[in-house]
């Protein structure tokens, strides 16, 4: 079971729902139609814009279930050499994952990029779709797909949605400026291996609103406000873990929690780059600590590289601290689609603190491999006190990784990592 899938099961199993909308579901309220009509204007180059103000959000959760369809445009309509893509329009409803999985079962479709135009929806299917996109190593972007016969507008009207449901490949335009992915949609997009957020596309986040699931409503009522707050805190911790595994800095969730659930924070270009949602050839997250119910601690960092094929490959470095057990370091590496040859030896080192050598690992579904090595707790402490940890793939590439946050993560562990409680 992949780290992504294990995390997803934990999120889905929470007895409290996260979001705003229909009781009994994990949901995030979508944005009202009028907000979609105010896209950010296109910009040339990567501007250093000031953070944008949160936009008020009104209305209850209303499902216009997300529709998936094949669109074909002019040459390079969806990027260099790309003229065919998957359009995705509407809110993330409970059956969205099932529909997308069936849609992608048609040969050739998972090689196409998918472009979302969505105000949000329920959190469970958003996370599950994010996992599916990563498992299939798909590219996802933000953009509004306008098939022939559809009127221009912030969102598709009933007649346009009927065209999208036709099941055929349809001539269409892809409008990046004006495309929206907010609330729950953000987590689906984050799951993709490669993310495309062009000038004028809008990516928005906000705080979750916690409501009781129908099958646990009485239990939550009896538990009271303290249990509710604990569940909310746990849900945010799990979302930080989810985005870190995907290669996004967990401070994105900190930003979301500071934005009231009835407002939306639209990220500036500078913020998109800072959190790793759009990046250059290399991006690394900070170290993030996740405490597990069994008393163990998981400390994780991710780095994302752009391969010569322009594929994005994310590697997770995870320190697993278990009481009375020697700590281990796990590398979970995504492989490029052309990486079929034996993989290089990987080394992690930090001066004289430690040198870990990871020989060939075990391959798992989804073109990934996992390598694990034990490490002494005092070696981790020495590494955390250094300026950098060197990540090297023998004969291929080498990176210096920041240790920012590692000392704090080790110090906050309820047990001495690699030692006794």
State pLDDT tens for residues 211-265: 556 666 676 666 677 777 777 788 888 899 999 999 999 999 999 999 998 899 9
Q: Cα 36 to chain center, whole Å? A: 22
β strands within 176-296, DSSP E: 180-182, 194-196, 202-205, 210-212, 263-266, 282-284, 288-291
- For residues 145 and 143, what is the distance between their CA atoms, to the nearest angstrom? 6
Top pLDDT among 218 and 96 is at 96
> How many CB atoms lie under 10 A from the CB of residue 112?
17
- For residues 196 and 236, what is the distance between their CA atoms, to the nearest angstrom? 25
CA torsion sign for 393, 395, 397, 402 is positive
Q: Please list the residue range(s) of the chain that carry CATH number 2.60.40.1880.
A: 283-411
Nearest to 267 by CA among 257, 255, 281: 255
Under DSSP, is residue 215 helix (H, G, I), strand (E, B) or coil? helix
Q: Is the domain covering 3-279 a CATH 1.10.3720.10 domain?
A: no
List, for residues 287-345, the tens digit of each pLDDT value: 999 888 777 888 999 999 988 777 889 999 999 988 878 889 999 988 876 666 567 89
pLDDT on residue 212: 59
Q: Please list the residue range(s) of the chain that carry CATH number 3.90.226.10.
A: 3-279
> How many CB atoms lie under 10 A from the CB of residue 404?
15
pLDDT on residue 214: 62
Q: Please name the residues in contact with 98: beta carbons below 8 A apart, sequence gap of 6 or more.
A: none
The answer to whether residue 41 scores a pLDDT higher than 70 is: no
CB distance 67 to 165 below 8 Å: yes
What interhelical angle do 225-245 and 3-13 show, nearest 10? 160
Assigned superfamily of 283-411:
Invasion associated locus B (IalB) protein (2.60.40.1880)
């Amino acid at each position: 079971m992949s780290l992504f899938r294990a995390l997803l099961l934990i999120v889905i199993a929470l007895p409290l729902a996260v979001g705003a909308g229909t009781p009994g579901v994990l949901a995030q309220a979508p944005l009202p139609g009028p907000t979609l009509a105010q896209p950010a204007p296109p910009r040339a180059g990567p501007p250093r814009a000031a953070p944008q103000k949160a936009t008020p959000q009104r209305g209850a959760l209303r499902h216009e279930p997300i529709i998936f369809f094949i669109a074909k445009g002019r040459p390079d309509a969806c990027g260099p050499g790309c003229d065919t893509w998957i359009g995705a329009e509407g809110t993330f409803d409970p059956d969205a994952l099932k529909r997308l999985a069936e849609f992608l079962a048609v040969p050739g479709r998972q090689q196409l990029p998918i472009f979302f135009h969505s105000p949000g929806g329920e959190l469970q299917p958003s996370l599950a779709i994010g996992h599916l996109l990563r498992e299939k190593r798909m590219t996802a972007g933000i953009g509004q797909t306008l098939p022939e016969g559809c009127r221009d507008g912030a969102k598709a009207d009933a007649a346009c949605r009927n065209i999208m449901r036709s099941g055929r490949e349809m001539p269409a335009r892809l409008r990046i400026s004006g495309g929206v992915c907010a609330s729950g949609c953000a987590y689906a997009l984050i799951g993709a291996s490669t993310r495309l957020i062009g000038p004028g596309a809008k990516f928005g986040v906000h705080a979750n609103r916690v409501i009781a699931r129908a099958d646990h409503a009485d239990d939550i009522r009896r538990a009271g406000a303290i249990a509710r707050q604990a569940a909310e805190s746990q849900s945010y911790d799990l979302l930080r873990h989810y985005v870190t595994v995907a290669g996004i800095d967990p401070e994105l969730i900190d930003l979301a929690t500071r934005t009231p659930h009835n407002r939306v924070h639209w990220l500036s270009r500078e913020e998109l780059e800072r959190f790793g949602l759009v990046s250059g050839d290399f991006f690394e997250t900070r170290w993030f600590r996740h405490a597990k119910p069994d008393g163990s601690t998981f400390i994780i960092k991710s780095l994302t590289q752009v391969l010569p094929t322009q594929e994005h490959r994310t590697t997770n470095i995870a320190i697993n601290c278990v009481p009375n057990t020697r700590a281990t370091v796990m590398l979970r590496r995504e492989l490029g689609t052309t990486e079929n040859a034996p993989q290089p030896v990987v080394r992690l080192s930090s001066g004289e603190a430690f040198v870990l050598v990871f020989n060939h690992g075990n391959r798992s579904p989804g073109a990934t491999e996992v390598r694990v090595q034990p490490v002494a707790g005092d070696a981790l402490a020495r590494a955390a006190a250094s300026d950098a940890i060197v990540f090297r793939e023998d004969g291929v590439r080498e990176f210096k990784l920041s240790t920012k946050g590692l000392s704090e993560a080790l110090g906050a562990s309820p047990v001495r990592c690699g030692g006794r409680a």
